[in-house]
């Protein structure tokens, strides 16, 4: 197992158990806009990329006005549903604390908006663990490598000392294209079979296994 200086996490589906909420909100937004109701599998396929391109892909849209309508509806529904915040996966907070205590530099690369990440940090009391972050407001959408390239530039950490951890092929592709190692998690929205196509260093089944991999004894 390799020791990394900079550890970049995806958020939804990797640290936070939010897939069910995202699916519900997307379906409610579609209902409000009289759009076809997407299946959970279809929504799962676009979780991880930024909201606007995700909605365009999910609903096969080219019309900007219709896209804006669904984007606005999703944002409104999500805020309404945010009265009960999504939980972190079991053990995630303890893992982040242990990584920080062991001198690791932590970052987030997420398709969430900056406001959404700030809200998630506040709800989970995890802001203090992360030195750097990139959101949909700061960089090109996954699977572009832009988020990782920006994080490498800001942190000054070399690619060979960096790893990306995520639950989607978008995470794996952007890490591969940025020239850094990648770890897939199979408890998120994309199956291990699809993650394996991007030659990750490993695929873990839960947070405990991820922690053991990042902090070998």
CATH superfamily name and code, 6-17+87-214: HAD superfamily/HAD-like (3.40.50.1000)
pLDDT in tens, 11-52: 999 999 999 999 999 999 999 999 999 999 999 999 999 999
Q: 19-81: same fold as 6-17+87-214?
A: no
Q: What percent of the chain has pLDDT over 90?
A: 91
Q: Output the CA–CA distances (angstroms, integers) from residue 149 to 51, 91, 183, 216, in the order listed.
A: 21, 29, 17, 27
Round the CA-based radius of gyration of the chain to a whole number and report it: 17
pTM, 2 dp? 0.92
CATH code for the part of the protein at 19-81: 1.10.150
Catalytic site residue from 12, 167, 171, 181:
12
Is residue 12 annotated as a catalytic residue, yes or no? Answer: yes
Is residue 10 annotated as a catalytic residue, yes or no? Answer: yes
Domain boundaries, the chain: 6-17+87-214, 19-81
pLDDT in tens, 128-183: 999 999 999 999 999 999 999 999 999 999 999 999 999 999 999 999 999 999 99
């Amino acid at each position: 197992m390799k020791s990394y200086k900079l550890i970049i996490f995806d958020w939804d589906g990797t640290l936070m158990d939010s897939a069910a909420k995202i699916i519900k909100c997307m379906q409610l937004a579609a209902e409000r806009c009289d759009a076809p109701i997407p299946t959970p599998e279809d929504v799962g396929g676009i979780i991880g990329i930024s909201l606007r391109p995700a909605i365009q892909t999910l609903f096969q849209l080219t019309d900007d006005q219709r896209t804006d309508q669904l984007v606005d509806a999703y944002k409104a529904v999500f805020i309404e549903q945010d009265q009960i915040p999504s939980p972190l996966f079991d053990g995630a907070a303890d893992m982040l604390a242990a990584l920080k205590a062991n001198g690791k530099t932590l970052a987030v690369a997420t398709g969430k908006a900056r406001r959404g990440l700030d809200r998630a940090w506040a709800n989970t009391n995890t802001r203090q663990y992360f030195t750097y972050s990139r959101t949909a407001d700061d960089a090109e959408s996954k699977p572009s490598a832009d988020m990782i390239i920006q994080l490498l530039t800001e942190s000054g950490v070399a690619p060979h000392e960096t790893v990306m951890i995520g639950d989607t092929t978008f995470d794996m592709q952007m890490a591969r294209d940025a020239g850094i190692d990648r770890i897939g998690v199979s408890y998120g929205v994309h199956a291990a079979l699809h993650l394996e196509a991007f030659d990750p260093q490993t695929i873990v089944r839960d947070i405990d296994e991820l922690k053991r991999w990042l902090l070998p004894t």
